[in-house]
Amino acid sequence: GNSVTQMEGPVTLSEEAFLTINCTYTATGYPSLFWYVQYPGEGLQLLLKATKADDKGSNKGFEATYRKETTSFHLEKGSVQVSDSAVYFCALYTDSSYKLIFGSGTRLLVRP
């Protein structure tokens, strides 16, 4: 079946450090891939998305590239800020499943 695997958290970084959060997926067909962010006490917000192989999604300094050959969609940011502290969820959607499948989430803590 379709699934998403994310790296275990928490990830703790100092401000201005480079961030990578790994995400790999298993899916039949050609999924769309998403990164969502959840700030404390809030619902999820779409951060970025990619709908086909080699697409790069980007937003607020975050980037992720849809790699079909490695079935990955790793999230990166060159210089994190304290305000980036949140839980990040990788997700996929396929037309055959008609539902969004989430990874378990990775908590990011950025220290000043």
Q: Which residues bind other proteins (CB under 8 A)?
A: 4, 32, 34, 41-46, 49, 51, 89, 93, 95, 98-100, 102-105
CB of 87 to other proteins, least distance (A): 10
Q: Which is nearer to other proteins, 19 or 50 (CB)?
A: 50
Q: Which is nearer to other proteins, 62 or 89 (CB)?
A: 89
- Which residue in 33, 62, 36, 38 sits closest to 50, CA to CA? 33
Distance CA 42, CA 95 (A): 28
CB of 101 to other proteins, least distance (A): 8
CB of 74 to other proteins, least distance (A): 17
Buried b (16+ CB within 10 A) or exposed e, 42-72: eebeebbbbeeeeeebeeeebbbbbbeeebb
Q: Which is nearer to other proteins, 44 or 75 (CB)?
A: 44
Q: Which is nearer to other proteins, 69 or 98 (CB)?
A: 98
- Which residue in 43, 50, 37, 17 sits closest to 87, CA to CA? 37
